[in-house]
Structure 1
Amino acid sequence: MGQPLILHRYINRQVFLSTVMVTFILVMVLVSGRFIKYLAEAAAGEIAADALFLVMAFRMPEFLQMIVPLSLYIALLLVLGRMHMDNEMVVLRAGGQGHGRIVRSLVVPVLMATTLVGLFSLYVTPRGDAEVNRIFEEQKDRSVLELLTPGRFHVKGSSNSQRATYAEHLNREKGVLENVFVADARFEGQGEANRLLTVWARSGKLVQEEGISYLLLTDGFQYQGKPGQRDYKEIGFKEARVRIGGEKSDSRPPKVRGRSTRELIAERENNHEALAELQWRLSLILTVPIMALAAIPLARVNPRQGRFYRLIPAVLGYMMYVGMLLVTRSAIEDYSGVLPWYLNMAWIHLMAATIVFLLYFGSRIFRRRAAA
């Protein structure tokens, strides 16, 4: 009992440390990219700066549920590949510790990772996405008085249009902006502005009508024309309305992802989006044991080949596996009518399990057939 226990501790410690290290690196890469995107939205005024870290915190479980299976998979490839390179596997087999013992040694870390991903996928992530949706709804309906910083230009738009807003002062007690400047530009395909609308007003305040937010400007002038030409029109006004807000951010997760697993189970028969989300959550859990079992034979390398000989093909295989699940999820969501029998993520898991089975026993089966 002593030698197997020492072996379990040795492998588990190496796998745990490698998984933590790989997870940290992947989280930093993924979170950094997402944080930069949210930071750009905060700079554009789509979300408040104080809500930025809340959004990142609520999205973290979603990041981890995607990263942990890959991290464990890469950690197993690295640890077992190093053991093959250092001939530790040869020593273990000579001592009677074969692949069966290695598989049993990995039961604990695989179960821990599966439980963690299951907890995130089924319970934590849906609540986090629901909170993210709530925050974005609050940000969408925020007052322009909260978006605008007095003395600074607030720029917002897309590839074919852009708006710049400026207010010299902000009277928070009256809720009034003073000396407001608004410029709307529409661009052609070459990036040149084909229309420019500029508005200056002595004051402005927020009004709402039928759920739409407007900036009510008073005592101002409107200038409209095309840059480079002399046909500008000047119009004075006592009151004018400029629609604000209403832009939706593509960083917000779909609302179906914020629903609880129990709700998805109840709606799966009549709602393709709910069915696709439910299958995706279960698929994330199944990827952990399937890919962990695949890592054991894939990590088997010859010392002359190098420990990274099979790492890149193995990671590409994992990305193809997850990519097929994502494609199937999108196909289920977009399909209209009764789903065909083949449009199900279960077939992808069955195919992956078959490949893992062949990695373990394929050579024996082929040898027996050849001998027969």
Structure 2
Amino acid sequence: MLFRTSFRKDFAQTAGATFVALFTIIVTTVLVRTLGQAAGGKIDNGEVFMLILFGGLQYLPAALVITSFIAVMGVVSRAFREQEMTAWMASGLSLSSLVRPVLSFALPLTLLALVCSVFLTPWAKGELEAAKDRYAKRSDVSKVSAGQFRESGDGRRVFFVEHQSELTKQVENVFVVDAKGDSRTVVAAALGQVEVDSRGQPYLVLKDGRRATLDGQGQRFTSTEFEVYGVAIDNSLGAAPSYQLQHRRVDKLFLDFNNAAQGELLWRISLPLSALTLSLLAIPLAFVNPRGGQSLNQVFALLIYLTYSNIVSVSQSVVTKGTADFWVALLAPHALVLLLFYVLLQRRSRPAGAPWVASLFAPVLGLIRRQGAK
């Protein structure tokens, strides 16, 4: 009882510190990328904090998987380094005694990662896409920020506004470059304001400015001063609603259970399951000889984690292409990791120099003997 309680407490403390560090790194990365998109005019400045939150939530399942793996690796490795495992083994316990406290620690994280992967992450991705879609459908002038160049949705027009009044919605010192075919039109005005005509067509009405036009061959140039000049605003631009599988609810995936939907569902389930299998695999991988080096097992663990992630990605790909059965692709990678866990556990549980290969088949041989005795 003391053995299990001690390890569960260490697992929880290490997991808490690891998750805080990982999620801080994730949020910082999303923050930098989101601020860059906001500065480039790709997203709305007023929705930056909401987009950062959604961006962090979509990486939450992966953070939980890595947290469980690192927590078990760190605690068990420390127990070996500080001779704590030696004391437990001298009391009659074995390395396999860690399986139960590891399962009691990893199962809640696996369930939480499953909920996040199946429900929360698709919702966060959908909200991100919806926010970008709303911004793309806004009119060209509504995207303009004072002191910054902004490109229209169709890429034919560039706006620059020196000052923008929040009360009157007027813009001052407006600069517009409009490309139509090979010709270029440059309009500069002191004031501007958005107005809507009787048909509902919005216009940017400029006052006290100059309009210059240059044809595509550079042979004809015209310049005109104006008191009032209207620039039509295309208010219908914007991305179409997203129907990507990553954004769909799980019930929608089951209703449309084609190969692509099966691949997406496999990924959502496989990622949380890897938290459980990797936590078990970390038990033999965390073995450290106090008299030897400590880095080899850590490198080996990193390579196994990367290989495992790639195998799951390949499984998703083959299911999406329809070249593999859903259940085989779902269970095979995790079964291989559990088999590797069993082999390494038997290897680490044997004294140095003692044969251990025969112990892998001991359960099977025992079952055969019992059947023969009957």
Q: 1:182 and 2:176 equivalent?
A: yes
On the 8 A contact 1:12/1:105 being kept in 2, the answer is yes
Aligned twin of 1:189: none
Q: 1:165 and 2:165 equivalent?
A: no
Q: 1:256 and 2:251 equivalent?
A: no
Q: Equivalent of 1:90, from 76, 86, 101?
A: 86
Which one-letter code corresponds to 2:211 in the other structure? F
Q: Equivalent of 1:154, from 136, 149, 170?
A: 149
In the TM superposition, what is the alpha-carbon distance from 1:58 to its structure 2 partner? 2.4
What are the superposed Cα offsets for residues 229-265 of structure 1, whole Å, 9 maximum, x if unpaired? 976844659555576895769xx99732222112111
Q: Equivalent of 2:211, from 206, 209, 221?
A: 221
Counterparts of 1:354 and 1:302, CA distance in 2: 23
In the TM superposition, what is the alpha-carbon distance from 1:313 to its structure 2 partner? 2.1
**1:117 to 1:254, Cα distance in 2 relative to 1, 3 A:** farther
TM-score (norm 2): 0.76
Aligned twin of 1:353: 338
In the TM superposition, what is the alpha-carbon distance from 1:88 to its structure 2 partner? 1.2
Counterparts of 1:360 and 1:96, CA distance in 2: 17
**1:304 to 1:222, Cα distance in 2 relative to 1, 3 A:** farther
On the 8 A contact 1:15/1:75 being kept in 2, the answer is yes
In the TM superposition, what is the alpha-carbon distance from 1:69 to its structure 2 partner? 0.9
Q: 1:318 and 2:309 equivalent?
A: no
5+ unaligned residues in a row in structure 2: which ranges? 349-354, 362-374
On the 8 A contact 1:301/1:309 being kept in 2, the answer is no
In the TM superposition, what is the alpha-carbon distance from 1:178 to its structure 2 partner? 4.9
**Which is greater in Rg?**
2
Aligned twin of 2:101: 105
Q: 1:340 and 2:330 equivalent?
A: no
Which one-letter code corresponds to 1:181 in the other structure? F
Worse overlay, 65-74 or 344-353: 344-353
What are the superposed Cα offsets for residues 321-360 of structure 1, whole Å, 9 maximum, x if unpaired? 1123234434544x3xxx1226834332333233223223
What are the superposed Cα offsets for residues 191-245 of structure 1, whole Å, 9 maximum, x if unpaired? xxx998744356464879xxxx98756675245489xx97684465955557689
Aligned twin of 2:45: 49
SS at match of 1:55: helix
**1:234 to 1:17, Cα distance in 2 relative to 1, 3 A:** farther
5+ unaligned residues in a row in structure 1: which ranges? 186-193
Counterparts of 1:324 and 1:246, CA distance in 2: 41
Which one-letter code corresponds to 1:266 in the other structure? L
Counterparts of 2:11 and 2:70, CA distance in 1: 10
Which one-letter code corresponds to 1:349 in the other structure? H
SS at match of 2:175: strand
On the 8 A contact 1:73/1:295 being kept in 2, the answer is yes
Counterparts of 1:314 and 1:341, CA distance in 2: 28
Aligned twin of 1:295: 282
**1:176 to 1:293, Cα distance in 2 relative to 1, 3 A:** same
Aligned twin of 1:191: none
Counterparts of 1:162 and 1:240, CA distance in 2: 13
Aligned twin of 2:55: 59
On the 8 A contact 2:133/2:238 being kept in 1, the answer is no
**1:245 to 1:41, Cα distance in 2 relative to 1, 3 A:** farther
SS at match of 2:296: coil
Percentage identity across paired residues of the two chains? 22
Aligned twin of 2:369: none
Which one-letter code corresponds to 1:325 in the other structure? V
Counterparts of 1:224 and 1:283, CA distance in 2: 59
Aligned twin of 1:190: none
In the TM superposition, what is the alpha-carbon distance from 1:283 to its structure 2 partner? 0.3
Aligned twin of 2:269: 282
Which one-letter code corresponds to 1:221 in the other structure? R
Which one-letter code corresponds to 1:200 in the other structure? A
Q: 1:366 and 2:357 equivalent?
A: yes
Task: Kindly tell me the number of residue pairs found equivalent between the two proteins.
Answer: 343
Q: Equivalent of 1:21, from 17, 23, 45?
A: 17
In the TM superposition, what is the alpha-carbon distance from 1:310 to its structure 2 partner? 1.1
Q: CA RMSD for the aligned pairs?
A: 3.9
SS at match of 1:309: helix
SS at match of 2:288: coil
